[in-house]
């Protein structure tokens, strides 16, 4: 997917003015967010579970080379094939070439964020192959020709009226305000595709290294159909999705599902190891696992950002984030929105263009509080900010504006020398005079006008605390 991280501010402004979007975003707080808190509350040892999961991820990421080799060997043992793709282009080529070689005309897809990264659907279309999203949310997004709004609920910004209109326009179905009717229509459309398709593509919530098993977690069951109906199953995943053992998987399923939707278990948890065996009645003839790097090595190589690879894509940080709940999923301009997106997108797509992402945060820490694997997102936002102002870690990064630089220097000098501060305050008391009405400043010149658009500002008082202390308290 072509990154549009540069247009963060435009996207944010659109969302803030969009009442419908604001309503669904508020719904995330009362919906998923509240449900997660209730589920966590009802889970004994929730905090220990988080610690444990973090430790497993830390271990796995530190020994990623070992576990990747283990996955490759175990998938092969089960009769499947692993392909390591250095970037999106390599991954696309492998999957599209495979489809062409096998004469595939229709591909059914279950939810895969990595395939969004790759822009895989466009590559299929260019090759004359029809990709069909079967996750209901993704199906809506595909019909609307948009990108996902949320990691877990890609069409969360669409109301049932929106979907009804969309179906009417694209599929010719009768307008309705019943969700069941919409579901039925989608099912009618998708059934055909399930029957026609020769390739099924899924993501992987987890890949279990000791068995070479791909695990996907869904509520609709279409994902399972993608793994079982077509001749060929291709699972595409980022290289960080590994867990060492089946025992670890239990820990992560408990955390992922509760953190994502507040459920204790999803309707479907599907575990696939290789293609159909000789004594299986059905299942795919071929199984491929495409493990994608696409910039993740850069996260791995940086000890200050490495923990971003612990992410299990539960979406909890999005639901918890008051900024995401204002600017929505499209403003972030790439596949991963919200707090974790603000870390991952800049490093995967280029920090220079994505410089708004690390800065568009009040550093409130709600993401870290919510994250099941305790990823310290605010800390990494600070690191990326440091890289943007004075770092050299990433090529092509754009430096922060000179005016801000000068302002920061001025601030530092003022507070480093006491005398200078006294002078600055004295000057401030004079300069503010024409602006002050009844102890408040209502309008300030740019860039401070941003402040007075929404708030007034207190006037500097006659005496500082320091001078009052000196005179005796």
By CB under 6 A, name the binding residues for ligand SF4.
259, 311-317, 340, 370-373, 375
DSSP string, 434-472: GGEETTEE----TTTHHHHTT--EEPPPSS-HHHHHHH-
Question: In the complex with ligand SF4, which residue's Cβ is closer, 82 or 314?
Answer: 314
In angstroms, give the least distance from the CB of 295 to another protein: 22
In angstroms, give the least distance from the CB of 74 to another protein: 38
Query: Could you tell which of another protein, ligand SF4, none binds residue 297, using a CB distance below 5 to 8 A set by kind?
Result: none
Distance CA 21, CA 43 (A): 32
Contacts of 180 (CB under 8 A, 6+ apart): none
Query: Could you tell which of ligand SF4, another protein, none binds residue 460, using a CB distance below 5 to 8 A set by kind?
Result: another protein
Query: Could you tell which of ligand SF4, another protein, none binds residue 315, using a CB distance below 5 to 8 A set by kind?
Result: ligand SF4
Question: In the complex with another protein, which residue's Cβ is closer, 268 or 457?
Answer: 457
Distance CA 334, CA 226 (A): 25
In angstroms, give the least distance from the CB of 386 to another protein: 5
In angstroms, give the least distance from the CB of 341 to ligand SF4: 9
Buried b / exposed e across 79-105, counting CB within 10 Å, b at 16+?
bbbbbebeebebbbebbbebbeeeebe
Give the largest CA-CA distance in the chain: 91
Buried b / exposed e across 157-181, counting CB within 10 Å, b at 16+?
bbeeeebbebbeeeeebeebeeeeb
In angstroms, give the least distance from the CB of 314 to ligand SF4: 4
Query: Phi and psi at residue 236, in whole multiples of 5°?
Result: -120, 130
Distance CA 101, CA 126 (A): 15
Query: Could you tell which of another protein, ligand SF4, none binds residue 409, using a CB distance below 5 to 8 A set by kind?
Result: another protein
Buried b / exposed e across 242-280, counting CB within 10 Å, b at 16+?
bbbeeebbebbbbbbbbbbbbeeebeebbebbbbbeeee
User: Are residues 417 and 407 in contact, defined by beta-carbon separation less than 8 angstroms?
Assistant: no
Question: In the complex with ligand SF4, which residue's Cβ is closer, 157 or 241?
Answer: 241
Question: In the complex with ligand SF4, which residue's Cβ is closer, 333 or 372?
Answer: 372
Alpha helices in 172-231 (DSSP H): 179-196, 222-228
Query: Phi and psi at residue 242, in whole multiples of 5°?
Result: -80, 140
Q: How many CA atoms lie within 13 A of 41 on its CB side?
A: 6
In angstroms, give the least distance from the CB of 368 to another protein: 7
Query: Could you tell which of ligand SF4, another protein, none binds residue 370, using a CB distance below 5 to 8 A set by kind?
Result: ligand SF4
In angstroms, give the least distance from the CB of 337 to ligand SF4: 10
* Residues binding another protein (CB under 8 A): 9, 12-13, 16, 29, 322-323, 326-327, 359-366, 368-369, 379, 382, 384-390, 400, 404-405, 408-409, 411-412, 415-416, 418, 421, 425, 440, 442, 447-448, 450-458, 460-461, 463-466, 468-469, 473
Query: Could you tell which of another protein, ligand SF4, none binds residue 64, using a CB distance below 5 to 8 A set by kind?
Result: none
Question: In the complex with ligand SF4, which residue's Cβ is closer, 141 or 314?
Answer: 314
Question: In the complex with ligand SF4, which residue's Cβ is closer, 112 or 259?
Answer: 259
In angstroms, give the least distance from the CB of 315 to ligand SF4: 5
Query: Could you tell which of another protein, ligand SF4, none binds residue 463, using a CB distance below 5 to 8 A set by kind?
Result: another protein
Q: How far is CA 267 from the centre of its chain?
A: 23
Query: Could you tell which of ligand SF4, another protein, none binds residue 12, using a CB distance below 5 to 8 A set by kind?
Result: another protein
Question: In the complex with another protein, which residue's Cβ is closer, 122 or 466?
Answer: 466
């Amino acid at each position: 997917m072509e990154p549009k991280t540069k247009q963060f501010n435009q996207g944010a402004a659109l969302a803030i003015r969009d009442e419908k979007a604001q309503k669904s975003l508020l719904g995330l707080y009362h919906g998923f967010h509240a449900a997660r808190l209730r589920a966590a509350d009802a889970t004994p040892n929730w905090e220990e579970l988080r610690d444990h999961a973090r430790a497993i991820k830390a271990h796995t990421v530190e020994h990623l080379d070992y576990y990747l080799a283990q996955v490759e060997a175990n998938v092969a043992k089960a009769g499947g094939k692993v392909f390591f793709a250095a970037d999106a282009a390599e991954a696309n080529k492998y999957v599209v070439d495979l489809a062409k070689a096998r004469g595939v005309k229709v591909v059914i897809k279950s939810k895969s964020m990595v395939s969004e990264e790759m822009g895989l659907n466009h590559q299929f279309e260019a090759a004359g192959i029809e990709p069909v999203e079967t996750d209901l949310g993704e199906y809506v997004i595909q019909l609307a020709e948009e990108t996902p709004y949320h990691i877990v609920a890609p069409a969360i910004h669409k109301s049932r009226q929106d979907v009804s209109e969309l179906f009417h326009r694209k599929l010719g179905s009768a307008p309705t305000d019943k969700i069941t009717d919409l579901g039925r229509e989608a099912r009618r459309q998708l059934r055909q595709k399930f029957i026609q398709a020769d390739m099924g593509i899924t993501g992987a919530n987890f890949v279990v290294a000791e068995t070479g098993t791909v695990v996907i977690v869904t509520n609709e069951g279409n994902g399972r159909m993608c793994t079982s109906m077509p001749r060929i199953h291709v699972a595409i995943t980022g290289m960080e999705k590994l867990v060492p053992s089946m025992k670890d998987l239990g820990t992560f399923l408990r955390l992922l599902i509760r953190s994502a939707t507040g459920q204790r278990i999803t309707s479907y948890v599907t575990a696939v190891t290789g293609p159909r065996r000789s004594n299986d009645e059905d299942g795919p003839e071929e199984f491929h696992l495409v493990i994608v790097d696409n910039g993740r090595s850069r996260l791995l190589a940086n000890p200050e950002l490495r923990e971003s690879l612990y992410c299990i894509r539960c979406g909890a940080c999005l639901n918890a984030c008051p900024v995401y709940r204002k600017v929505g999923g499209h403003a972030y301009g790439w596949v991963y929105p919200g707090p974790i997106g603000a870390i991952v997108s800049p490093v995967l797509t280029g920090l220079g263009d994505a410089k708004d992402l690390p800065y568009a945060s009040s550093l409130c820490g709600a993401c870290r509080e919510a994250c099941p694997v305790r990823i310290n997102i605010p800390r990494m936002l600070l690191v990326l900010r440091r890289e943007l102002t004075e770092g050299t870690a990433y090529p092509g990064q754009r430096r922060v504006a000179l005016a801000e630089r000068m302002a920061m220097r001025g601030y530092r000098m003022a507070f480093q020398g006491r005398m200078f501060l006294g002078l600055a305050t004295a000057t401030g008391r004079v300069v503010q005079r024409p602006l002050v009405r009844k102890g408040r400043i209502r309008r300030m010149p740019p860039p401070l006008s941003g402040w007075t658009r929404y708030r007034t500002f207190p006037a500097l008082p006659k005496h500082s605390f320091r001078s009052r202390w000196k005179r005796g308290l």
